[in-house]
């Protein structure tokens, strides 16, 4: 694909640092919670395209690669004044080309679902957003905060659960927030991350062997967040919704996880993702 693509009066161009402020404004107009710092985090790991009407950003899309085998298609926004003209499809197609032969994952609203189905994506899960002001939560005794020397074990667990390497993401999360873990003897068997996001904090990813470990990690992190606004995004089938509601984080929306060009796994992983890092990057 050419670096610049002309479509009527709209030009698609590489997403650069100078476009971040306009991207934040677009996402706020769409009702998203993302701060500039949240955009910067995802953009720092990604390649992308913007749609320009003159010097004004009227659309965005990012492709976040995870090694050579997998990617996330995310941050797809079209200015309200430009909707209904096929611009969302053009932006999505442009970043799919950036993904080359990688498996592509994304989350879709009901409005976006028909477009992504036409582009070859298949629904896999419902992703549920839970958020709110956290109640008093008792901390379990089997979880602890961990230091940077735990990152190799955390990366290995995340790779097993996600099915691709997200080492660069884990490094960024370690700089922006904290990791908690559960050990079996000296071996880390489950972990969770927390960081600032939007109008409060977010917990995720949470990777564990079972739902009990995932619940204990969430309880450990939330025990220090009483009175604070916290969000987490979970696959619906994890069964954590009722517990999160009890902790003051009701369900407030859902999206559909989708995949294109899925690469099958040779065996069932010993751990799974109970909470996403974010809807954008899984």
* Band of pLDDT at residue 57, cut at 50, 70 and 90: very high
Q: Is the pLDDT of residue 4 over 50?
A: no
The pLDDT tens digits for 201-227 are 999 999 999 999 999 999 999 998 999
- Cα-flanking dihedrals φ and ψ of residue 265, to 5°? -95, 145
The pLDDT tens digits for 221-244 are 999 899 999 999 999 999 999 999
pLDDT of amino acid 5: 46
Structural domains of the chain, ranges and CATH numbers in brackets: 5-101 (3.40.630.30), 130-275 (3.40.630.90)
Distances (CA, A) of 241 to 79, 248, 277: 33, 11, 17
* Band of pLDDT at residue 268, cut at 50, 70 and 90: confident
pLDDT of amino acid 266: 65
pLDDT of amino acid 179: 98
Q: Is the pLDDT of residue 264 over 80?
A: no
pLDDT of amino acid 1: 42
* Band of pLDDT at residue 8, cut at 50, 70 and 90: low
Q: Is the pLDDT of residue 95 over 50?
A: yes
Task: Report the alpha-carbon distance of residue 150 to residue 235 in Å, rounded.
Answer: 26
Q: Is the pLDDT of residue 267 over 90?
A: no
Q: Is the pLDDT of residue 265 over 90?
A: no
Cβ within 8 Å of residue 141, ≥6 positions away = none
Mean pLDDT rounded to a whole number for the chain: 94
Quote the percentage of the chain above a pLDDT of 90.
91
Structure tokens at 200: 């409060």
Q: 34 or 6: whose pLDDT is higher? A: 34
Q: Is the pLDDT of residue 6 over 50?
A: no
The pLDDT tens digits for 165-209 are 999 999 999 999 999 999 999 999 999 999 999 999 999 999 999
């Amino acid at each position: 694909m050419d670096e610049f693509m002309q479509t009527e009066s709209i030009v698609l161009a590489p997403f650069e640092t100078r476009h971040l402020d306009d991207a934040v404004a677009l996402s706020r107009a769409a009702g998203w919670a993302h701060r500039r710092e949240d955009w910067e985090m995802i953009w720092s790991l990604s390649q992308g395209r913007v749609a320009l009407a003159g010097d004004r950003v009227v659309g965005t899309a990012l492709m976040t690669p995870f090694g050579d085998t997998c990617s996330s298609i995310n941050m797809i926004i079209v200015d309200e004044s430009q909707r209904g003209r096929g611009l969302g499809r053009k932006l999505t197609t442009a970043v799919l080309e950036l993904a080359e032969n990688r498996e592509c994952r994304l989350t879709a609203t009901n409005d976006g679902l028909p477009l992504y189905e036409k582009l070859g994506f298949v629904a896999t899960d419902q992703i549920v957003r839970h958020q709110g002001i956290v109640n008093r939560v008792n901390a379990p005794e089997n979880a602890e905060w961990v230091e940077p020397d735990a990152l190799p074990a955390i990366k290995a667990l995340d790779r097993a659960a996600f099915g691709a390497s997200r080492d660069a993401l884990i490094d960024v999360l370690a700089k922006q927030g904290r990791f908690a873990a559960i050990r079996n003897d000296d071996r880390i068997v489950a972990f969770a991350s927390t960081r600032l996001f939007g109008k409060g904090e977010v917990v995720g990813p949470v990777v564990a062997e079972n739902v009990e470990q995932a619940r204990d990690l969430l309880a450990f992190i939330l025990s220090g967040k009483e009175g604070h606004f916290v969000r987490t995004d979970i696959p619906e089938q994890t069964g954590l919704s009722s517990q999160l509601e009890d902790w003051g984080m009701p369900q407030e929306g859902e999206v559909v996880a989708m995949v294109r060009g899925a690469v099958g796994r040779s065996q069932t992983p010993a751990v799974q993702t109970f909470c996403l890092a974010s809807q954008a990057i899984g």
